[in-house]
A and B are shown apart, each in its own frame.
Chain A
Amino acid sequence: MAFHTMDFGAPTCARISERALAIAFEAEPSPALQERIRSLARRALEHDAVAEAVAGLGNLTLFLRSPDDAEALLARLPAWASEAAAAEASAPRTIEIPVRYGGADGPDLPAVAQRCGLAEDEVVRLHAAGEYLVFFLGFQPGFAYLGGLDARLATPRLATPRTEVPAGSVGIGGAQTGVYPRRAPGGWNLIGRTELALFDPFGSPPSLLQAGDRVRFVPV
C-alpha cells in the first residue's frame, strides 16, 4: 500500500467544542485519504486522553475524556498527522456480503436499470464487481458509507422515501451504495438484500464493518 506516502497537504486542526477536536483535509475524498484518516485515528487513540475517534469524509473528530486537555492536545495534532503520514498502513480486511439481487429483495432494480440505461443483470454485475472501501460509519449503528460505486450506477434518491426499509437492504442513493443494518425509513433505491447481520449490540466490535475495511458484494 503506497497510500501513506501521498501528500494530502497540511490538515486544518481546530477545537470544535469543549471536548471535540477536528482534523480536516482539503484534498478530494478518496480511499487513500480515508486510509490516512484511519491511521491518524489509530495514532490519536494511543493517547489516554482521547476517548473516541470518529471519521467523517476527509476529516476526523476526536472526543476527549476531559475538556481540560483540549488546548494541549490541539497543539499535538499536526505532529500526529505527520506521524500518521509516515506510518505503515495496516493490511485491510475484506468483508464479503452475500446479496440476493432483484425481486422482492431489490424492488428498485428495474428502475435503477432503466435510469442507468443498463440491463438489470448488468447493474448486478457492475455492483458486484466493485471493491468498496468503508469510508466511515454513521446515520445508524453499523451503517457504513462506502466509497467506490461505479459511476454508471449512480441513481438519485427516491422522491418520496419509504417509511420502512427491511434490515439488510442494499441500496443506491446518488453516488453512494450501502446496506441498511436495521429496519428504518429510507430513500435509497433498493437493489437487493443480505441475510448478514451488520450490527449486533452484543458483538465486539458491534459493527461488522469498520472504517478502512474493503467490501465486496457476492450475488447468491
Chain B
Amino acid sequence: MSERRVTILAPGLFASVQDGGRFGARASGVGVAGALDPLALVTANRMAGNDPDAAAIECTLGGARIRIEAPMRVALAGAECDARIDGVRLPAWSCAFAEAGSVLALGAAREGTRTIVAFGGGIDVPRVLGSRSTDLAAGFGGFAGRALRAGDELPIGPSAASARAAFRLQPPEWSVHLSSSETGAVRVRALVGPESARVADARSFWEREWEIAPQSNRMGYRLAGAPLAAPRDGAMRSHAVEPGVVQLPPNGVPIVLLADAQTTGGYPRIAIVIEADRRRAAQARIGGRLRFVRTDFDEAKAARHDVEAYLRATAAAIAAQLQ
C-alpha cells in the first residue's frame, strides 16, 4: 500500500501549509497566520472529509502542480483556477476522489487570489503552538517553516472518508462576485478605527478606491494612491493589532494587515475590516482595487451570520454526499 503523501511538483507563485490559525501565543509575539480565506478552508476540508480547521495547501494565483501518491479525496475552494486531475476538470468549490499517481494541476487563477487545496486526512505536519500553519516570518510550523518548493513531500493523515463522491457546491456569492463596483474594486466593509479622528481627511479614505501595491504579501496589503494627510499625533503608544486592521503610517498610505501581521503596532488605526470580509480583502488581486465601506457592529454581526448560514447549508449538503 502506498504511503499517504503528496509531492509538490511546482508550487506556483507561492504556496504554504495553513490551517485555521495559531491562537494563544500572541502575548509572546507569535502571530496568528492561518488560511487567508477561512471560508474556503472550512469548505474544502469538509468536502475532503476533514475537520474544518485541518491543514491544507493555500495556493496563490494558481499554477501549482501536485502529485497525489495514494488514493484520497481532494477538494478545492477559493479562487477558480481551471484545475484538473489527470485532465479531468476540478472547479473551485468541488471535490473528487483521486487515484494514486494522479496529478492535480492548477491553471492561472481567473478571479480571486487564493485557492485552498485540501486532501482527505489533512496535511499531517506537526502542530507547533497548537497549529499546523506556517509562520513564514519566524520560520516555524507548516512544512519546514517555509513556503512550499518543488520536490517537497507532504505527509497526509489517515482518513475515515472513503467516499468516492465527486460533487460541486454552490459557491458563496461573495466569492463569485468579488468585484462589486463598476471599476472592479472589491468592496470590503470596515469599522471605524479607534484613531480615525486623528486623520484629518479620514473621509477621503472611505470615499476613494485604493490600489493594492506590489509590495503586498500575507502580512499585509500596502495600498497605493495619493497619500492621506499625515495623522495628527502620529507617534503613538504601541498596542496589539490583529488581521483586518488598517494602519496609517506617517507616509499617509494605508496598510491592511492580513493573517501574518505582527502582534503589535504603533500606527494609528483608521479602520478595521470586519471578520466576514477579511477573506474578500485577501482574495483581491495585487494591482486590483479595494473600496472600504463604513459599517458598524450590528452589520458585522449580520455578516458573520451570513457566513455561518452558508457554512451550515454546505455542511449539510456535504454530509449528504459523503454518506
Q: Is the CB of B237 within 8 A of A139?
A: no
Q: Is the CB of B300 within 8 A of A18?
A: yes
User: When each residue 139-152 of chain A gets 1 if its CB lies under 8 Å from chain B and 0 otherwise, what string results?
Assistant: 11111010000000
Given known A52-B23, A67-B301, contact A141–B239 (CB-CB < 8 A):
no
Q: Is the CB of B138 within 8 A of A143?
A: no
Q: Is the CB of B26 within 8 A of A63?
A: yes
Comparing B27-35, B70-78, B157-165, B222-230, the segment that makes contact with chain A is: B27-35
Quick check: is A137 within 8 A (CB to CB) of the other chain? yes
Q: State in angstroms the CA–CA spacing of A100 and B78 once bound together.
A: 50
Q: Is the CB of B138 within 8 A of A140?
A: yes
Q: Is the CB of A207 within 8 A of B140?
A: no
Taking CB atoms, residues of chain A closer than 8 Å to B24 are 51-52
- Name the interface residues of B155-191: CB closer than 8 Å to any CB of A: 191
Comparing A79-87, A103-111, A198-206, the segment that makes contact with chain B is: A198-206
- Min CB–CB distance B152 → chain A (angstroms): 20
Q: Is the CB of B128 within 8 A of A202?
A: yes
Q: Is the CB of A201 within 8 A of B138?
A: yes
Quick check: is B244 within 8 A (CB to CB) of the other chain? yes
- Report the tally of A-B residue pairs with Cβ distances under 8 A: 121
- Min CB–CB distance B298 → chain A (angstroms): 11
The listed residue (A52, A142, A143, A145) touching B26 by CB distance below 8 A is: A52
User: When each residue 10-23 of chain A gets 1 if its CB lies under 8 Å from chain B and 0 otherwise, what string results?
Assistant: 00001111111010
* Residue in chain B with minimal CB distance to A17: B272
Q: Is the interface on chain B under 10, 10 to 19, 20 to 34, or 35 or more residues?
A: 35 or more
User: When each residue 304-315 of chain B gets 1 if its CB lies under 8 Å from chain A and 0 otherwise, what string results?
Assistant: 100000000000
User: When each residue 66-88 of chain B gets 1 if its CB lies under 8 Å from chain A and 0 otherwise, what string results?
Assistant: 00000000000000000000000
User: When each residue 91-110 of chain B gets 1 if its CB lies under 8 Å from chain A and 0 otherwise, what string results?
Assistant: 00000000000000000000
Quick check: is A89 within 8 A (CB to CB) of the other chain? no
Q: State in angstroms the CA–CA spacing of A143 and B186 once bound together.
A: 36
* Residue in chain B with minimal CB distance to A71: B297
Q: Is the CB of A16 within 8 A of B194?
A: yes
Q: State in angstroms the CA–CA spacing of A178 and B20 once bound together.
A: 32
- Name the interface residues of B194-212: CB closer than 8 Å to any CB of A: 194
Chain A interfacial residues counted at CB < 8 A: 43
- Min CB–CB distance B30 → chain A (angstroms): 5
- Name the interface residues of A165-185: CB closer than 8 Å to any CB of B: 182
Quick check: is A97 within 8 A (CB to CB) of the other chain? no
- Min CB–CB distance A77 → chain B (angstroms): 15
Quick check: is A190 within 8 A (CB to CB) of the other chain? no
Quick check: is B16 within 8 A (CB to CB) of the other chain? no
Taking CB atoms, residues of chain A closer than 8 Å to B137 are 140
* Residue in chain A with minimal CB distance to B128: A201
- Name the interface residues of B28-69: CB closer than 8 Å to any CB of A: 28-31
Q: Is the CB of B238 within 8 A of A136?
A: yes
Q: Is the CB of B244 within 8 A of A141?
A: no
Q: State in angstroms the CA–CA spacing of A22 and B264 once bound together.
A: 13
The listed residue (B28, B239, B274, B275) touching A137 by CB distance below 8 A is: B28
Which residues of B are interface residues toward A (Cβ below 8 A)?
23-31, 128-129, 135, 137-141, 191, 194, 237-240, 242, 244-245, 262-265, 269, 272, 274-275, 297, 300-301, 304
* 22 A–B pairs (Cβ distance < 8 Å), ordered by A: A29-B237, A52-B27, A55-B27, A56-B238, A61-B239, A63-B23, A63-B242, A68-B301, A136-B238, A137-B28, A137-B264, A138-B240, A140-B29, A141-B135, A142-B29, A145-B238, A199-B28, A201-B129, A201-B135, A201-B140, A205-B25, A210-B27
Beyond known contacts A67-B301, A140-B137: 14 more, CB 8 A cutoff: A17-B191, A17-B244, A18-B274, A18-B297, A18-B301, A18-B304, A20-B242, A24-B237, A52-B26, A52-B27, A139-B262, A143-B29, A202-B128, A205-B28
- Going nearest first, the 6 A-B pairs with the smallest beta carbon separation are A138-B264, A61-B240, A207-B28, A54-B240, A56-B239, A57-B237
